[in-house]
Amino acid sequence: MTFDLVQEEPELHTLKKVFHRKALRGIALKEGKVLLLSNLRGDYKFPGGGLESFETDEEALKREVKEETGYEVKAVGRFFGRALERKKDAFQEDTVFEMESLYYFCEVEEEKGAQHLDDYERALGFRPHWVTPEEAMEKNLLVPQEESAHNLWVKRETAVLKHLFLYLKGVEL
Protein backbone atom coordinates (compact mmCIF):
# COMPACT_ATOMS: atom_id res chain seq x y z
CA MET A 1 0.00 0.00 0.00
CA THR A 2 1.25 3.47 -0.86
CA PHE A 3 -0.38 6.86 -0.78
CA ASP A 4 -0.17 9.90 -3.03
CA LEU A 5 -1.35 13.10 -1.32
CA VAL A 6 -1.70 16.43 -3.10
CA GLN A 7 -2.29 19.67 -1.22
CA GLU A 8 -2.62 22.70 -3.43
CA GLU A 9 -3.58 26.34 -2.96
CA PRO A 10 -6.18 27.67 -5.41
CA GLU A 11 -5.34 29.92 -8.37
CA LEU A 12 -1.79 28.63 -8.92
CA HIS A 13 -2.42 28.26 -12.65
CA THR A 14 -1.85 32.02 -13.06
CA LEU A 15 1.80 31.76 -11.91
CA LYS A 16 4.44 31.28 -14.60
CA LYS A 17 7.33 29.51 -12.81
CA VAL A 18 7.70 26.46 -10.57
CA PHE A 19 10.40 25.98 -7.93
CA HIS A 20 10.54 22.25 -7.11
CA ARG A 21 12.12 20.88 -3.93
CA LYS A 22 12.41 17.18 -3.17
CA ALA A 23 12.60 15.88 0.40
CA LEU A 24 13.05 12.43 1.90
CA ARG A 25 11.32 11.50 5.15
CA GLY A 26 11.93 8.49 7.36
CA ILE A 27 9.41 6.26 9.08
CA ALA A 28 11.18 4.30 11.82
CA LEU A 29 8.96 1.96 13.85
CA LYS A 30 9.59 0.28 17.20
CA GLU A 31 7.04 -1.53 19.37
CA GLY A 32 4.04 0.22 17.82
CA LYS A 33 5.65 3.65 18.01
CA VAL A 34 7.15 5.88 15.33
CA LEU A 35 10.19 8.14 15.61
CA LEU A 36 9.00 11.73 15.20
CA LEU A 37 10.23 15.22 15.97
CA SER A 38 8.33 17.44 18.37
CA ASN A 39 8.83 21.18 18.64
CA LEU A 40 7.99 24.12 20.88
CA ARG A 41 4.64 24.64 19.14
CA GLY A 42 3.46 21.18 20.17
CA ASP A 43 3.18 19.31 16.89
CA TYR A 44 5.01 16.31 15.44
CA LYS A 45 6.72 15.75 12.11
CA PHE A 46 8.66 12.95 10.45
CA PRO A 47 12.43 13.41 10.36
CA GLY A 48 13.82 14.24 6.96
CA GLY A 49 14.63 17.04 4.61
CA GLY A 50 15.88 18.22 1.29
CA LEU A 51 17.91 16.29 -1.22
CA GLU A 52 21.27 17.90 -2.03
CA SER A 53 22.37 17.87 -5.68
CA PHE A 54 25.19 15.38 -5.02
CA GLU A 55 23.10 12.87 -3.03
CA THR A 56 20.99 9.84 -3.79
CA ASP A 57 17.59 9.58 -2.12
CA GLU A 58 18.97 7.00 0.33
CA GLU A 59 21.98 9.17 1.25
CA ALA A 60 19.75 12.18 1.86
CA LEU A 61 17.35 10.18 4.02
CA LYS A 62 20.17 8.76 6.14
CA ARG A 63 21.81 12.17 6.56
CA GLU A 64 18.60 14.01 7.46
CA VAL A 65 17.37 11.41 9.97
CA LYS A 66 20.76 11.39 11.71
CA GLU A 67 21.04 15.20 11.79
CA GLU A 68 17.54 15.75 13.12
CA THR A 69 17.17 12.83 15.54
CA GLY A 70 20.68 11.64 16.37
CA TYR A 71 19.73 8.09 15.28
CA GLU A 72 21.84 6.38 12.62
CA VAL A 73 19.82 4.70 9.85
CA LYS A 74 20.86 1.04 9.52
CA ALA A 75 18.65 0.23 6.56
CA VAL A 76 16.25 2.00 4.24
CA GLY A 77 13.17 -0.08 3.53
CA ARG A 78 10.31 0.17 1.13
CA PHE A 79 8.67 3.29 -0.21
CA PHE A 80 5.48 4.19 1.69
CA GLY A 81 4.13 7.18 -0.19
CA ARG A 82 4.39 10.69 -1.56
CA ALA A 83 3.00 14.05 -0.48
CA LEU A 84 3.04 16.95 -2.93
CA GLU A 85 2.40 20.47 -1.64
CA ARG A 86 1.95 23.35 -4.07
CA LYS A 87 1.59 26.97 -2.97
CA LYS A 88 2.55 30.49 -3.95
CA ASP A 89 6.26 30.97 -3.27
CA ALA A 90 6.89 33.39 -0.40
CA PHE A 91 10.23 34.57 -1.81
CA GLN A 92 10.00 34.48 -5.61
CA GLU A 93 7.47 36.53 -7.57
CA ASP A 94 5.13 34.73 -9.99
CA THR A 95 6.36 31.32 -8.78
CA VAL A 96 4.77 28.15 -7.43
CA PHE A 97 6.71 26.48 -4.61
CA GLU A 98 6.34 22.73 -5.01
CA MET A 99 7.50 20.48 -2.16
CA GLU A 100 7.58 16.78 -2.96
CA SER A 101 8.06 14.61 0.14
CA LEU A 102 8.86 10.93 -0.31
CA TYR A 103 8.34 8.68 2.73
CA TYR A 104 10.39 5.52 3.29
CA PHE A 105 10.39 2.99 6.07
CA CYS A 106 13.78 2.77 7.73
CA GLU A 107 15.47 0.94 10.58
CA VAL A 108 17.56 2.94 13.05
CA GLU A 109 20.27 1.96 15.53
CA GLU A 110 19.25 1.49 19.17
CA GLU A 111 21.69 4.12 20.48
CA LYS A 112 20.93 7.78 19.92
CA GLY A 113 23.77 10.17 19.14
CA ALA A 114 23.86 13.96 19.08
CA GLN A 115 21.51 15.98 16.93
CA HIS A 116 22.99 18.40 14.38
CA LEU A 117 20.17 20.86 13.82
CA ASP A 118 19.97 23.84 11.49
CA ASP A 119 19.42 27.22 13.16
CA TYR A 120 15.67 27.25 12.44
CA GLU A 121 15.30 23.67 13.75
CA ARG A 122 17.15 24.61 16.93
CA ALA A 123 14.97 27.72 17.34
CA LEU A 124 11.84 25.53 17.02
CA GLY A 125 13.21 23.13 19.64
CA PHE A 126 13.17 19.94 17.54
CA ARG A 127 13.41 16.87 19.80
CA PRO A 128 13.09 13.21 18.78
CA HIS A 129 10.38 11.10 20.46
CA TRP A 130 8.96 7.60 20.03
CA VAL A 131 5.18 8.04 20.01
CA THR A 132 2.19 6.20 18.63
CA PRO A 133 0.71 7.56 15.41
CA GLU A 134 -2.54 8.19 17.33
CA GLU A 135 -0.77 10.37 19.94
CA ALA A 136 0.97 12.37 17.22
CA MET A 137 -2.25 12.88 15.22
CA GLU A 138 -4.08 14.06 18.35
CA LYS A 139 -1.32 16.57 19.14
CA ASN A 140 -1.22 17.84 15.56
CA LEU A 141 -4.99 18.29 15.47
CA LEU A 142 -4.78 20.45 18.61
CA VAL A 143 -2.43 22.94 16.95
CA PRO A 144 -4.38 26.19 16.42
CA GLN A 145 -4.88 27.21 12.78
CA GLU A 146 -2.70 30.32 13.20
CA GLU A 147 0.15 28.19 14.60
CA SER A 148 -0.05 25.59 11.84
CA ALA A 149 0.33 28.44 9.33
CA HIS A 150 3.87 28.81 10.76
CA ASN A 151 4.50 25.05 10.77
CA LEU A 152 3.38 24.31 7.24
CA TRP A 153 4.08 20.62 7.65
CA VAL A 154 1.30 20.05 10.22
CA LYS A 155 -1.44 19.32 7.67
CA ARG A 156 0.85 17.13 5.54
CA GLU A 157 2.25 15.14 8.45
CA THR A 158 -1.17 14.62 10.02
CA ALA A 159 -2.42 13.14 6.73
CA VAL A 160 0.64 10.85 6.51
CA LEU A 161 0.18 9.79 10.15
CA LYS A 162 -3.41 8.79 9.31
CA HIS A 163 -2.16 6.60 6.45
CA LEU A 164 0.46 5.06 8.74
CA PHE A 165 -2.13 4.40 11.46
CA LEU A 166 -4.38 2.63 8.97
CA TYR A 167 -1.45 0.69 7.50
CA LEU A 168 -0.41 -0.52 10.97
CA LYS A 169 -4.01 -1.63 11.62
CA GLY A 170 -4.03 -3.57 8.34
CA VAL A 171 -6.64 -1.36 6.69
CA GLU A 172 -6.48 -1.07 2.89
CA LEU A 173 -7.08 2.42 1.52
Using one digit for the tens of pLDDT, what is the confidence trace for 79-130?
Answer: 999 999 999 998 999 999 999 999 999 999 999 999 999 999 999 999 999 9
Strand partners, 102: 24, 82
Q: CA Rg, the chain, in Å?
A: 16
What pTM was estimated for this model as a whole?
0.93
In this structure, how many other beta carbons lie within 10 angstroms of the beta carbon of residue 1? Answer: 11
* CA separation, residue 110 to residues 36, 75, 107 (Å): 15, 13, 9
Taken in order of first residue, the domains within the chain and their CATH numbers are: 3-168 (3.90.79.10)
Single out the residue of 74, 71, 148, 61 nearest to residue 103, CA to CA: 61
Using one digit for the tens of pLDDT, what is the confidence trace for 1-20?
Answer: 689 999 999 989 999 999 99
